[in-house]
Amino acid sequence: AYINWTALEGLELIGGKFKQPWQQVSGGMVWDGDLNPEGVAARYTTKLGSAKMIASAGYLTLDDNGSSSSEDESINFAQLAAKFNVAGAKSMLGVSVYDFSEGDNNPLDLDALSKAKGNDSTEYQLTEVFAQTELKLGLPIKLYGHYVVNNDANGVNKNEDTAWLLGVGTKMGNWKASYDYREVELNSVFAAFNDSDFADGYSDSEGSRWKLSYEINKNFSVATTYLDTEMGNLTSKGKGDVDTWQIDLKAKF
């Protein structure tokens, strides 16, 4: 359950367990699409010239260890994004910081969560930059990119701190298609929270995602996704291919 209160024009205050309040591009390189954070957040939307500016910030609880917030394992985040048109192309550009924090006198339980999916760092402060533009070249073409670095990566593989993704998508009638390629170094993202389908959710991975969907009507759609991925030598499973094929039927009312 959550509340979303419009305190002032353009200002939303959100609390509880809510949908992800930040802007992002497709791919789930930092946040799995099924993940709903818990905590408090604020989002402010305004105009700057012809651009739409969206600023958000919040405090998310990972583990409630006591009555004081200083004892909780948490994420503090802040993001600034802009949506604008360039020569008729709808575009978006944004930057975010996600700072993972351990509680006072409580070792951060990130080890158990993240090492299970490849990480060996115990510190995470993620800075991301993302961009997207939609062109009309006969068919509409969407181009997007995502870059992430863990500024606080530590341990033996502290230099394995960067991830990137490039993608393209299009739409024709009721059909949608997209493709993206990414490389995710071992400690670049918090592997317990990123896309759980790509390389079985492991960091130290790379590969492609192909997706095709068809909208049957306004209530139903069907989609198929193929993930051709490879895990590196640094994961607990060792080097190997992970190929995944999914078929989804979606209903909304």
Instruction: Using CB atoms within 10 Å of the CB of residue 22, give its burial: 0 to 12 exposed, 13 to 18 middle, 19+ buried.
Output: buried
Q: Which residues of 206-223 are buried (b: 16+ CB within 10 A; e: fewer)?
A: bbebebebebeeeeebee
Its pTM stands at: 0.90
Measured distance CA(118)–CA(201) in Å, rounded: 9
H/E stretch holding 130 reads strand 125-137
Domain-wise residue ranges, the chain:
2-251
Instruction: Using CB atoms within 10 Å of the CB of residue 188, give its burial: 0 to 12 exposed, 13 to 18 middle, 19+ buried.
Output: buried
CA nearest neighbour of 23 among 125, 94, 75, 85: 94
Residue 110: per-residue pLDDT? 57
Q: For the chain, how many residues are written?
A: 253
Measured distance CA(77)–CA(57) in Å, rounded: 5
Classified by CATH at the fold level, domain 2-251 comes out as Porin (2.40.160)
Using DSSP's 3-state secondary structure scheme, residue 250 falls into strand
Helical spans, DSSP H, in the chain: 110-115
Q: What's the gap between Cα 130 and its chain centre?
A: 10
Q: Letter for the amino acid at 17?
A: K
Measured distance CA(178)–CA(180) in Å, rounded: 7
Instruction: Using CB atoms within 10 Å of the CB of residue 138, give its burial: 0 to 12 exposed, 13 to 18 middle, 19+ buried.
Output: exposed
- Please list the pLDDT of the chain residue by residue as tens digits (253 residues): 899 999 999 999 999 999 999 999 999 999 999 999 999 999 999 999 999 999 999 999 976 555 445 556 899 999 999 999 998 899 999 999 999 987 655 545 555 666 778 888 889 999 999 999 999 888 999 999 999 999 999 989 999 999 999 999 999 999 999 999 999 999 999 988 999 999 999 999 999 999 999 999 999 999 999 999 999 888 777 788 999 999 999 998 8
Handedness of CA 119, 120, 126, 127 (dihedral sign): negative
Which residues, other chains included, contact 67 with Cβ-Cβ below 8 Å and sequence gap of 6+? none
Residue 71: per-residue pLDDT? 54
